[in-house]
Amino acid sequence: MSNAPHYKSNLRDLLFNLMEVSQIDSQVLGKAPFGAIDADQVREVLQAMDELARTELAASFYESDRVPLAQNEKGDVLLPPGLKKSLKAYYDAEMQLLELPEHLGGFGAPPSVAWAGFELVAGSNPAAAFYLFGTFIARVIDRLGTAAQKKRFAGRIIERRWGGSMVLTEPDAGSDVGAGRAKAVHLGGDEWEITGTKRFITNGDYDAVENIVHLVLARPEGADVGTKGLSLFIVPKWWVDENGKLGERNGVRVSKVEKKMGIKGSATCELVLGDEGRCRGLLMGEVHDGIRQMFHVIEQARMAVGMKSMATLSTAYLNALEYAKERVQGPDLLQAADKRAPRVRIIQHPDVRRMLLSCKAHAEGMRALAFFTTHIQDQVELLGGHGDKRADELDRLNDLLLPLVKGWSSERGYEQLAIALQVIGGSGYVQDYPFEQYVRDQKIDSLYEGTTHIQAQDLIFRKIGRDGGKTLQALLARVQETIQTEAGGDTLAAERKALLKGLGELQGIFGALMAKMQDSPYHVGLQGNRVLLALADLVVGWLLVKHAAIAADALPKAKASDKNFYQGKIASAKWWTRNVLPGLALTRKLIEASDLSPLQVDEAHF
């Protein structure tokens, strides 16, 4: 096992997305509610976060995988020492303040900047990243809780660095959240008794904090079946009194810690509530609105998963690139017949270049998609949130983009990580390099917080269907505008032409699916994933062309140190339009020719 830090960040591209594409320095920073932070401060804090990620956080990446989680006699989960050290370093550097608003003692940074910090953390040590969830739980309680609940929990979570978790899944229900059977019995006021078993709870317990605050979905006695009957409860591991002080142990225990393929340092727990002592919780906001409230958490988690996939692919690509520039093996293909020909670095081989460009374009494309989405989130908050017509339109666009960020990034990320591993050959399969751990740690991303097909159904039935496709058409109009305004001039003429063709194919894809849905919604079940991936491929292609146009405009006056970066942006757009967008035509043909025959195959024939 290598002791060298594995993490290679891409702060230059991250700042390009924030400052040159989204232009947050002029459009977001310095404006309410982000008036307390300016561009210089953003650069300074992200540089500090980058340094922390590459050193203190990355230091326990391998240990988190190799040293198993343990449990003491009470069932508490014990983390590897190095991982606890990394978490302490994060909090000691006060990096948790980046995502907090001013009134909670934070920097008051916009969502795009907070997510930029998360990229650095998730790329350096994904197991560590999810142990930092407590700060977000404080934000949720601050937003949705009663005044008493805010006083009782929000400030204390931040001050005492408490942990947090979201507790949805049950063993028999799985992704069918509405089938959950955990029960809640009213004790008085906002206090309830909770009983039930929850499974696959990320960081449901760990010993690096003195308390963990769980947000638990449970069904009050007499409530309706399905998701509408669920309520959300604040359930601390150690009871917290009205003044925020710790009391007795609450009735939440870990009955099992899952043994997993990857991200092993993140404790995935089965939690039993109320079997060994009363488990008490407080009804969030004193309203029975659990699934809507929990979606604030679910959406955050889905965004985080997409960011994690992107961050992992980015560091994998940069590690593969470094290896390819140094590894000498084989002659140039043009001299392959000459046994005395000099050996060359593998980056000179066409196949390696093909793979590297694929990883580069996908990593940059995922980052472009993620930070386009975060900039939409910035604008929603600038407009004051719900109630403003323009803010509501942008919020619907954010909702539509989330399945792409989560579903597309996790699917394509897994494929591209295999390519990054392939670049370095057999060395990628052994633990001397981080690639095999990257693959194992990332695979979960297409599974949890809603599988890829759940994302596809959400996209088609809810995000597109709820307004008759208006939000989708508004997004595609942005693509059309980039084409019509001839962004990038002559430099990107061929790329805009490919983008226009891809847009036509995508419209054909939706037309074909809508026609087939008139026959049966089963067509969404069979073709939904293809549609989600096709939409994301087109949107990412558009973003890469936009980024290349910005780069082309910047090149004439660019510093020498930036010229290679900008040329690389143009190269990514050219590769994407030649190698990814043509695939939309095949997807369209497959959907047009599809039928329901897979459903007619007898089970005995499988």
Where in the sequence numbering do the catalytic residues fall?
449
> Is residue 149 within 8 Å of 127, Cβ to Cβ?
no
Retrieve residue 112's tokens: 């795009």
**CB distance 267 to 82 below 8 Å:** no
CA distance 115 to 194: 34
Rounded Cα distance between 457 and 554, Å, is 40
**Phi and psi dihedrals of 365, rounded to 5?**
-65, -40
Name the 3-class secondary structure at 11: helix
Question: Could you tell me the two tokens for 433?
Answer: 């390099």
Contact 435, 319 (CB under 8 A): yes
Torsion, Cα 6 11 14 15, to 10 degrees, reads 170
Q: Exposed e or buried b for every residue in 548-571, given b needs 16+ CB within 10 A?
A: bbbbbbbbeeeeeeeeebbebbbb
Degrees to nearest 5, angle at CA 252 with 247 and 257: 130
Would you state the structure tokens that stand for residue 311, as one six-digit string?
């961050």
DSSP 8-class letter at 167: E
- The dihedral through the CA atoms of 300, 306, 309, 313 has a sign that is negative
The span from the CA of 491 to the CA of 570, in Å, is 9
Pairing mode of beta strands 328-331, 343-345: antiparallel
Beta-strand pair 191-202/280-283: antiparallel
Cα distance between residue 319 and residue 422, in whole Å? 12
By C-alpha distance, which of 399, 540, 534, 533 is closest to 482? Answer: 540
Q: Give Dmax (Cα) for the chain.
A: 86
Distances (CA, A) of 557 to 19, 70, 265, 547: 17, 56, 47, 16
Question: What contacts 434, CB < 8 A, 6 or more positions away?
Answer: 2, 6, 61, 62, 315, 316, 319
Pairing mode of beta strands 212-220, 183-188: parallel
Question: Where do runs of H (alpha helix) occur along 220-332?
Answer: 290-326
- Count of C-beta atoms within a 10 Å radius of residue 478: 14
